[in-house]
Amino acid sequence: MKNSPEPLEISPSEWLSINQFLLEMKKINSLCVSVYYPYGKGKETISLLQESKRKESTERIEREIEKRIAKLRENPSSLGKFTKTLCIFGWIKNGKINIREMGTSKQLPYIYMVSKRPYIKPFHDILKINYDVILVTLDQKCARVQKFHGSQIVSESKLRIDLQGRHKKGGQSQGRFLRARQTKIHVFFKKVANRVKKLDSNSEIILLGGNGQGKTEFFGELDSDLVKKCRFVKNLSFSTSISDIHKKIIHHLYQYRRKYVAEIIEKYEKLVKEGLTAKRNDVIYKALKLGAVDTLIVSADYHSNSQFKTIMKMLEIAKNTSAKIEFAVSPKILKKLEINDSVLAILRYRIK
């Protein structure tokens, strides 16, 4: 019997745990060494750390990370047998070196980076961590509006109206009743839409669900900016468990990310003729040194080729020159662009 293929999307329980871990990492506001490496590649990672020459304070952190990697090699069971990537962060606070690590069942890129804060972008791009999402659950009488940052609910509102379901009399009285009822629903949905707009400062997507036709009627009350972000969610009600809610959020974030990367690739292809792109590693390396790179597009599994050390250095330069880094996961996009042994760059200006 064949083993079933590994699910592409992360499980809600692991997503929850990683969100909680990275919530703590985001509080760190000091120079940090971030190391991601494939499970079983600890020895190679230690060699990589030892090859580099950094200032003394950074090398102190690196030596502690090396010790931690060695301990993980000796006793890996504590991280779980399904761990594919180990992630270690090291920083100095009040003169003391702090080390935190975490394992994930998903493959993340090989990272060795020294930056002003912990480098967590791969979690965001690949595992859909730390996104802002608005979830609206409603019918014609009740609404719940929740804003999530990752797995954490940062704002929640509940609204409702008294709405009579039937009118026993017929004729003109029945018609007036139905018009008044529909007006009341319209006003209610407008109030809910205003609440959503007030919360929508930086959300990537708005998820909309609920029993009955209320959600489709409410959709018509949203302005054009909110409509662009809105996605309908199946099988969502006021009684849906938080675990199932997380699962639905994760699923729609994966869809959102695929569309987002496709748009970046489309932009890259349009700029090729204008000379505002680069594909060769040596050209991109030079452009990064000049601060000419706007966006660096990198295969999530670039570490499987011979260029990974060069690309790793490019990632650090990009991070420290404010270039945007986007990790591509889709096999279709990777095959189309042939970037497993190189990266792509969108440039701020032409370079000679």
Arithmetic mean of pLDDT, 244-265: 94
pLDDT at residue 166, rounded to an integer: 59
Question: Helices 56-74 and 42-51: crossing angle, nearest 10°?
Answer: 170
pLDDT in tens, 7-56: 678 999 999 999 999 999 999 999 999 999 988 888 889 998 988 888 99
pLDDT band at 4 (very low <50, low <70, confident <90, very high): very low
Provide the 8-state DSSP code for 31: -
Q: Which residues contact 134 (CB under 8 A, 6 or more apart)?
A: 145, 146, 147, 148, 196, 199, 200, 203, 205, 206, 207
Residue showing tokens 């997503």: 15
pLDDT band at 2 (very low <50, low <70, confident <90, very high): very low
pLDDT in tens, 299-315: 887 766 667 888 889 99
Q: Which residues contact 154 (CB under 8 A, 6 or more apart)?
A: 147, 148
pLDDT at 186 over 50: yes
212 or 318, which is more confident: 318
**Whole-model pTM?**
0.88
Question: What is the identity of the amino acid at 283?
Answer: V
Q: Is the distance from CB of 60 to CB of 140 less than 8 angstroms? A: no
pLDDT at residue 169, rounded to an integer: 56
pLDDT at 287 over 90: yes
pLDDT at residue 304, rounded to an integer: 62
Mean pLDDT score of the chain: 88
Structure tokens at 88: 């270690």
